[in-house]
Each structure stands twice: as C-alpha cells, then as structure tokens.
Structure 1
Amino acid sequence: MAFLHLLILSVQSSSLILLVAVTGYCCAKYGILNASAQKGLSQLTIKLLMPCLLFAQVAESIDADTLLQLWPLPIFFIIISLISGLLGLIGGKIFNFSSSQTRFVATGIIFNNVTSLPIGLIQSLVATEAISFLLWGDHDTPKKAAARGISYALLNTLLANILRFSFGTWLLKKEGNIDNNRITDVEQVNTENTPLLSSSHQTFRAPFSNLIYKIKEFMNPPLYAALIAIIVGTIPTIKSLFFKDSTIFYIVITRPAQYIGDIAIPLTILLLGAQLNNLSSSKSREILGIISYIMTCRFIIMPIIGILLVVMTREWYFKDPMLWFVMMMTASGPSAINIMNMAQITGTFQEEVAALLAYSYLALAPMVTVFMMIMLGVIERLTNN
C-alpha cells in the first residue's frame, strides 16, 4: 500500500510539471509566447528570479556547523559528478558524438534533479509506512527524519547550483561560441603617435584586465547569488540580520527575494514547454539517440552506482538511514530542470535541452517508483544488519 501511495504521489508530482510545460507549449504555438517574449522572460529568470530563489533558499538553510558535520555529502557529490562526467566522455567515444554533442551529453548526465525530486519524495514518505525504513534509532520520529533529509538535500542543492552555474555553463558552450563582449583591445596596437607612458600603462594593465575578463566570463547572476548565500548563511550575525522577521534587511531584501524567487521554477517549466514548440520533428529524431543514452545513464546506470557506493562506504560516517537515502538520490533521477537556465545563459542547446527534459519527465513517474522501491529495500537490509 505504501508503494502504491508513493506511485500516486510520484505521478501527481510529475504530472504537475508536464501540465505546466504543456501550457507553455500551447502559449508558444498560438503566439502568446513568441520568440521575443521567450527571450525576455529567459533573461528575467536568469538575471533576477533564479538569483533571488538561490539566495532565499540556500542562505536560510545553510550554516557553518552543517557544512562541517556533513562532509560525506560533498565528497559523495564530487565522486558522483566525476563518474557522471566520465560516462559522458565514454558515450561520446562509443557513439562518435561531436565535441559539442559530448559536452551536451555530459551536462545531461552530471546535472540531475537534487532538489525538488528528493525533497518531494521525502515529504511524501512521511505520510507512508516507508518512512520507518529511514528512522535513525529508537527515538527518531518521521518529522525529525524528514527535517534531516531536507537539510541534506538543500546542501546538495547548494553544491549543485555552484557547479551548474560555473562549470556547467562553460560545458554547454559550443565550439566557436565567442562572447561578443570580450575585450579585444587589451594588447592594443601601439603606433609612433602613441605616448610611451600610455603604452607602459596599458602593458601593465593587460594581464589584470584578462584576469578580470576570465572571472567575469566564469561568473553569472545565479552563481553570484549562491556565493553571497554561503557568506550570509555561515556568518550568524549577518544571517540574523537577513532572516529575523523584525529586521529591516528581512523586510526590504529577504522577504521580496523569497516572493520573487518562488516564480522562478514555474516560469522555467513554462518556458521549457515553449521551447518544445520550436523543436522541429527532424531535429527531435536526430538527437533521440543522444537523449536515450543520457536517460539510460540517469535512470539506470547512475542509481546502481550510487547504491553500490553507499553500501561500500556506509561504515565511514554516521549511520543515518536518511543520509544514505539522500546520497543514493544524489546519483539518481532525471536531468535537472534548471539546465534549461544554463542553456539560456550560454544561448546554446535550448531546443535539445527542452526535448531531453520533456522525455525525462515523461519517464519519471514509473522510473522513480522502481528505484525508490530498490533503495528502500537496500536501506532496510542495511539497518537490519
């Protein structure tokens, strides 16, 4: 009965995403969301909505003690990311993908849903008998276990967003996709009319200007927001200024950021559906093999690897079944919805990402139920032993 209830909740969760995406598709098809509107809303999401969401969620849930005590999570996250990237490279070699296609495949495998799916499943488990598999000791309660699980998932969210909006945006850039804003005159050509002092000054500034450019090329608004959130969240005095209801910072900055940030995910999903309207049937068929490989890795290979790693390393850290569950989920599930935001930042692969996410979330309901049953079964055996 618990698994049947879980299946119903999984279908409800994925159907919500699909219905919003279908709405976006219809809006694009009938001209409500034309190309210009899509571009404007994409920029709004990247430059305002997503940074507000990251600041509001991460800064509130993270503190220095949490970061120190949960060292297994970042280590596990890094290992899983490296293995995922390796699978992308292997797929590129085996199936003879181009360099840019291999980057797209690696992006789809590395960056999975480590936020809404794990948190949604944890919240749904609380209402079922399956939560008993994830209790830690005789005095644990479903509510306490769920709170721990959500904090673990939010730490993964922080790590994932830093990686997505730094390495991920670089990874999605196609060959020859040059930033038009790049500084081109830093080694500026000198002539006989150029003052000597100006030439020396320019030569001195060149390495510094190049460094600044490289940093600016690497950074983007969501990444800035994630880094600011870490600073605010890990310094208690500053955190209290931003997250106590009575402070002026909470009223003027935090509360509006929370309110605005809540729009980010629904709008991203709406734009996802609109992008599907732009995907030609020929292009969809062309990338079907690439998408199939990504989904095989995300729904089959990586969950198996994640489960095996937890089973082999569980003696090295505290034996919280909820921690094991979140670590297994770190390796599982579909590609993250906000890789669409990454594609929007770089201006590449937007149609391909839309197709990948559409197929992935269509397969989510049956697949998530299968690996949930396997994970809970494994965790039950580990706790009994």
Structure 2
Amino acid sequence: MGLLDLFIASTIPVLKVLLITALGTFLALDRVDILREDARKHVNNVVFYVFNPALVASKLAETVTYESIVKLWFMPLNILITFIIGSILGWILVQFTRPPPHIRGLIVGCCAAGNLGNMFLIMIPAVCKEKGSPFGAPDVCQSYGLAYVSFSMAIGAIYLWSYVYNIVRASAAGTTIESTRLITGQSSRESSTAELGSCTEPLLPSKEPLASEHRIDQYALPRTKQIEMEDSGNKQLLSKLLGNINWKTVFAPSTTGAIVGFMIGLIPYIRKILIGGDAPLHVIQDTASLLGDGAIPTLTLILGGNLLKGLEGSGMQKSIIVGIMVARYIALPIIGIFIVKVRLGFIPADPLYQFVLLLQFAVPPAMNMGVITQLFGAGETECSVIMLWAYALASISLTLWSTLFMFLI
C-alpha cells in the first residue's frame, strides 16, 4: 500500500468531523440563531445524562466479551498512561505560563484527556471502508474496530468523569472561594481590628491552670502519645482525602453506562436476553443504540457552536494554546510510538489494535471538556479558543500521524 493511499485513508475521517463542526458553527451564528448559547447548554445536559451513557452502554454490550477483554487488557493501562503523561505536561505548562486560577484545571484536562470515543467512532469505520486500507476485509476490520473503539470510549469516559471532571471542579471551586475571600477580606479585617480594640480582658491567662484542667494526654508516656498522634493524623488525612472526592461524579452517567455495558456483555444470561435479533428484550438494546447514535453528531455540532466564541477571541495567552498543541500533537504521539512499538511482547501483534493504541496518544482534546466547563460555568470561552485551534490543527496533525502510524505497523 502506497504512502499516498495511506494519506487519503487518514484524511477522509478527519474531514467528516470538520464538516459537521463547521455546520455547528454555522448554526450558532447570530443571523441563523439555532444553536444559541442557552440552547447549547440545554443540549449539553441531554448529551451528558442521556446520549453519552446510552452510547457507551450499547456499544460495550454489543462488542465486549470475555475473549475481547483478555485481548484488550493493555488498553486501560495505555489510556491511563496518556492521562498521566498529559497531566504532567499540563502541570508543567501551568507552571511556566501562570494562567488565571479558573482555567488551570482546564489546561491540565485538555492535555490529559483525548477524544477517545467520538473521533474513533468516526475514524475507524471510515478507515476500514476506505479503499486500500491496511487492515484487511472491511467487515472484519469494522467488527473488531468497533470492539476496540467501544472499550476505548468506555475506559476514556471513566477516566474523564472521575479524574478530569474533578480537576476542573476543584479549579472552579478554588476560584469561587478566592473571589469570596477577596470580597469579604477587607470587612473581616476591619471587624477583627474592632473586636481587638474593644477587648478589655488579657489575651493570656494570668494564673497557671489547675492540674485537673490539663488534658489526660499530657501525662501519657512520650512513645504512647506519639503513636496516638500519628494514628490521629493518619485518620484525619484519610478522612480529608476521602471527603474531598466527589463520589457522585466518580459514578457519572457515562461511567454508569460503562458499568451496565460491561455487565450485559460479560454475563451470558443477560446478554442472551438483550443482545441479538432473537433476544426477548432486544427492543431495550435497540432503543439504547438509537439514543447513542445521536451522541456523536450532537456533540460535534455543539463543539462547532462553541467554537464561535473561540473565533471572537478571549485574550488568552498564546503560550498556553501553543503549549497545549505541543503537548497533544507532538510530545504525546512521540511517547506513544515508543510505548506501543517497544512493547516487550505485551501487546498483541494485531495491526488494527496497535493503530488504535497509537491514535489514543494523537487525538485532540476530548469534546466533553466543553460540556464540563459549561456545567461549572468556568472557562467556557477559553475552552472554545483551545478547541478551535485544537480541531483546526487536528486536520493536519491527525492526518500526518495516522499516515505514519499505518506505515509503522
């Protein structure tokens, strides 16, 4: 297969995404006024609570089996590596650029979370159908490809909504707290000064406290007291860590959908009832699949509508945008080639499987970053600018990297 054929096979899927994105931008224009800002927020909620869970659950239920799980064991680790390395790159970028606090979580999230679902669901079937594809017969390629993509989408959704969601949430919450302190700080200091000025009692007691007023632990043996203090400190630290986790978001709708999909796919009895044309309750699976099919075009249209803010600009530092592009389109793909190709026999020699693993390092930031920023109302405009540049450059970057990946495998 020639290099030109590989290039064409890589270009077609990216062009499909760009065309739908351009339509979303057109619908959001003032003179068209279909995808207005309030409309995008309402549709975002529908995608978050209905379309995404249905998509993840239906695709996993159809394609995941015990055999595929055994073969795909490395994929969750591979995705975790992309999130960890991306987070490190994002943290380094934050240290160098010193952005406003409310977008620090957004920057780390955009570097960490790639588009592991929607982009793959468009790209992989298109690559399989394209003439001259290096992955064999189109039907076989598409069947295996959907299994790989569904698993990638489910694992990516779990990491996104349990990890990145909480990073952005913490960043937005920290900004709110800081703003409240700035507003109330002056009045609090004035109040404290007034209270100190009117105080007539000495700040320290004039007499030694009686022995009975001492705490019991003051008379404990030094070693016993140290152990008790360490145990108390460890318990407080554990309680603080567990208390800071938003457990509701760990089991976000997409994560719940992934759990349901795994249960249906891996439990034979439930699978026989729901999956297949002869299944008694196949109408449930068909309905979930029908809802899930609406997630990809809807998310892509919303992305296009959100990009309109990016066209208007937000005064973002150019260094932030450049840093995110370098992290996602240069550093991560190079690291991915090293990890996947120097695999030490851990990864099966299936070319399509390796291609999906490599692509997980090269895709643009997750579209759901826009959903997350709109849910918190923090960094929406900045996210639009990042997405504008990310998906504009994806047409070049993803095409070139896809061509190279196909050549390597």
Q: How does 1:5-154 map to 2 (within 5 A)?
A: 5-6=8-9, 8-10=11-13, 12-26=15-29, 30-127=32-129, 131-132=133-134, 134=135, 141=137, 143-154=139-150
Aligned pair 1:3/2:1, yes or no? no
Letter in 2 for 1:240: K
Q: What's 2:152 paired with?
A: 156
Displacement of 1:57 after TM fit? Answer: 1.6
Tell which deviates more after alignment, 313-322 or 120-129. 120-129
Amino acid across the alignment from 1:243: I
Q: 1:162, CA displacement in angstroms? A: 0.9
Paired residue secondary structure (2:247)? helix
Contact 1:21 1:272 in 2 (8 A): yes
2:197 equivalent in structure 1? none
Counterpart CA distance in 1 for 2:123 and 2:61 is: 23
Partner of 1:222: 254
Q: CA deviation at 1:311?
A: 1.9
Residues 97 and 322 of structure 1, relative CA distance in 2, 3 Å threshold:
same
* Counterpart contact for 2:128–2:142, Cα < 8 Å: yes
1:242 counterpart residue number: 274
In structure 2, the gaps of 5 or more residues are 178-238
Q: CA deviation at 1:279?
A: 5.4
d(CA) in 1 for partners of 2:348 and 2:35? 50
Pick one of 297, 301, 306 that aligns with 1:275: 306
CA pair 177-44 structure 1, distance change in 2 beyond 3 A = farther
Tell me which amino acid in the other structure corresponds to 1:22. T
Does the aligned pair in 2 maintain the 1:7–1:365 contact within 8 Å? no
Match of 1:86, as an amino acid? I
The 1:231–1:303 alpha-carbon spacing in structure 2 relative to 1, beyond 3 Å, is same
Structure 1, gaps ≥5 residues long? 136-140, 180-206, 380-385
Is 1:231 matched up with 2:258? Answer: no
Q: Could you tell me the percent identity over the aligned residues?
A: 21
Structure 1 residue 74: Cα displacement? 1.6
- Shift in Å, 1:211: 7.3
Match of 1:176 among 169, 174, 177: 174
Aligned residues: 341
The 1:95/1:213 distance shift into structure 2, 3 A limit, reads closer
Is 1:259 paired with 2:290? yes
Tell me which residue corresponds to 1:339: 369
Please give the alpha-carbon distance, in whole angstroms, between the structure 2 residues aligned to 1:288 and 1:315: 42
The alignment status of 1:317 with 2:347, answered yes or no, reads: yes
Residue pair 2:161, 2:249 contacting (<8 A) in 1 also: no
Asked whether the equivalents of residues 109 and 297 of structure 1 are also in contact (C-alpha less than 8 Å), the reply is yes
Task: Give deviations 1:88-112, integer Å, cap 9, x for gaps.
Answer: 1111112223444332111111111
CA distance in 1, matches of 2:266, 2:256: 16
The answer to whether the Cα contact below 8 Å between 1:64 and 1:234 also exists between their aligned partners in 2 is yes
Moved more, 325-334 or 49-58: 49-58
Q: Which amino acid aligns with 1:67?
A: I
2-structure distance, mates of 1:280, 1:117: 22
Q: Tell me the distance in 1 between the aligned counterparts of 2:248 and 2:21.
A: 35
The answer on whether the counterparts of 2:118 and 2:296 sit within 8 Å (CA) in structure 1 is no
Work out the CA distance in 2 between the residues paired with 1:143 and 1:280: 40
Taking only aligned residues, the RMSD between alpha carbons, in angstroms, comes to: 2.9
Contact 1:42 1:341 in 2 (8 A): yes
Q: 1:249 to 1:177 in 2, by over 3 A?
A: farther
Aligned counterpart, 2:233: none
CA contact (8 A) 2:54 2:288 kept: yes
Is the alpha carbon distance of 1:75 and 1:35 closer, same or farther for their aligned partners in structure 2, counting shifts above 3 Å? closer
After superposition, give the CA deviation of every residue in 1:161-206 in whole Å (9 maximum; x if it has no partner).
1111221211111133789xxxxxxxxxxxxxxxxxxxxxxxxxxx
> In 1, are the aligned partners of 2:28 and 2:34 still within 8 Å (CA)?
no
**1:282: Cα distance to partner?**
4.9
Stretch of structure 1 that moved more, 109-118 or 170-179: 170-179
Change (3 A) 1:319 1:106: same
Please tell me whether the aligned partners of residues 14 and 364 of structure 1 are also in contact (alpha carbons under 8 angstroms): no
Computing the radius of gyration from Cα coordinates, the structure with the larger value is: 2
Residue 217 of structure 1: how far off its partner (Å): 4.8
